[in-house]
Amino acid sequence: MSDLTTLTATQLVAGYAAGDFSPVEAARATLERAEATQPHVNAFVRIDAEQALGQARESEERWRRGQPRGLVDGVPVTVKDILLQKGGPTYKGSWAVGDEGPWDEDAPSVARLREHGAVFLGKTTTPEFGWKGVTDSPRHGATGNPYDPSRTAGGSSGGGAAAVALGAGPLSLGTDGGGSVRIPAAFCGIFAMKPTYGRVPIYPASAFGTLAHVGPMTRDAADAALLMDVITGPDPRDWSQLGPVTHSFRDGLAGGVEGLRVAYSPSFGGQVAVDQQVAAAVRRTVERLVELGAHVEETDPDLADPVDAFHTLWFSGAARVTESFSQDQRAALDPGLREICEEGARATALDYLAAVDVRMALGKAMGAFHETYDLLVTPALPITAFGAGREVPEGSPHTRWTGWTPFTYPFNMTQQPAASVPCGVDADGLPVGIQLVAARHRDDLVLRAAQALYEAGAADIPAPALASLVTPAGS
């Protein structure tokens, strides 16, 4: 039997259908990997082996009868500990959240996975309330990078990215309010996508408002398309969701990039200082897009950095999260979170609306940009992973995480679909990501271009060395 922890969700489902292996075998293998790697990287808040094996046995019986429940029946999945999952607490990385519950409700994306027969391995780590681009919190500590546990996995969906990279489940649900699936995907060498806002229903509504998206974190683009087919199902609890999806996200996935008009912006017009190794890896991948038939032009969207407006929106949201906290609860917060909450609480309604004006202008500019270009390509991040437990790299002139994520948060402001695809490693063996961005509602183009890179081998990078230290189950 092959190492089941290395298989994609698509491969697992095909194997179940063929009778090559069972959901119970896959659950045992991925649980073993999760438990063996947890001391090294701290990807999980909770691993629930009893629940997972029970769900896997039920799935195995459905497959034996030839009656799978849905598209991911028996596939091991993980869920960021921001999203509600009934049966256990959602701590959101904070001591301010107690155990009392009742914890009797699933978030929409979690509910859709349950309806499709997924096997829930556990909840993955997040910084407190998902507030920053790295994953550490006073409650759960820091999450290390699978390629070097002394480095950060990124955030705020760092636990999910680490789990996928290490083979602890091929599918993970993350949230992205300023880059939070794309940042850890780039640092950990996996695929992640922030869909068009509203495409994946959200409940409860995020305090960060319409900046926050739910998105897939997976081994490749094909698995992301599969997961999108599951989690985009409608949910009446989300008043801001888009209309029903009328097609499969897997349709047209293999259409290639021939003829697509691609804008390549290596540094947002010189606004961003990009590490030379990152820049070289991204440029090589852009050259592969040319070889595959895309029409690539090196150009930049004419955008001034919207970080001040983003901070007003983001910090105000954080202040709202903690508005009712007691003095003791505030004292226990991540110090950086406490700082931005205090700043957000000082913002006026006029400050907030001025930031909304910046956001609308940015959205209009990108809408016009995509009249000319199907895709915008940038580095996902200008750097590779730095030391764990820090908000910014050592020696950085910035104090906040947005200082080193200038390619990600603008597209939360515009609500566009954007993905990070692995495109190489640096001299230390740390992954590099390339970002693909399309116009609102063109999630299909992002997935299609990413799939083309996977099929061409442009997204192939070495597996984390840590994974090889763990004896593969079933091998």
Nearest to 382 by CA among 248, 255, 281: 281
324 is catalytic: no
176 contacts 213 by C-beta, under 8 angstroms: yes
CA distance 233 to 221: 19
Residue 420 backbone zone (phi > 0: left; psi -120 to 50: alpha; other: beta):
beta
**454, amino acid identity:** Y
Residue among 180, 265, 316, 420 flagged as catalytic: 180
Tokens found for residue 289? 């897009």
CA dist 407 → 194, 328, 378 (Å): 13, 36, 7
Residue 128, class by beta-carbon neighbours within 10 Å (0-12 exposed, 13-18 middle, 19+ buried)? Answer: buried
Catalytic residue among 22, 80, 92, 206: 80
SS3 assignment for the chain: CCCHHHCCHHHHHHHHHHCCCCHHHHHHHHHHHHHHHHHHHCCEEEECHHHHHHHHHHHHHHHHCCCCCCCCCCCEEEEECCCCCCCCCCCCCCCCCCCCCCCCCCCHHHHHHHHCCCEEEEEECCCHHHCCCCCEECCCEECEECCEEEEECCCCCHHHHHHHHHCCCCEEEEEECCCCCHHHHHHHCCEEEECCCCCCCCCCCCCCHHHCEEEEEECCHHHHHHHHHHHCCCCCCCCCCCCCCCCCCCCCCCCCCCCCEEEECCCCCCCCCCCHHHHHHHHHHHHHHHHCCCEEEECCCCCCCCHHHHHHHHHHHHHHHCCCCCHHHHHCCCHHHHHHHHHHHHCCHHHHHHHHHHHHHHHHHHHHHHHHCCEEEEECCCCCCCECCCCCCCCCCCCCHHHHCCCCCHHHHCCCCEEEEEEEECCCCCEEEEEEEECCCCHHHHHHHHHHHHHCCCCCCCCCHHHHCCCCCCC
Please name the amino acid found at residue 324: S
**Amino acid symbol at 254:** A
Query: Is residue 80 annotated as a catalytic residue, yes or no?
Result: yes
Catalytic status, residue 109: no
Place of tokens 């391995």: 121
Of the residues 94, 109, 156, 316, only one is catalytic, namely: 156
Residues catalogued as catalytic: 80, 156, 180
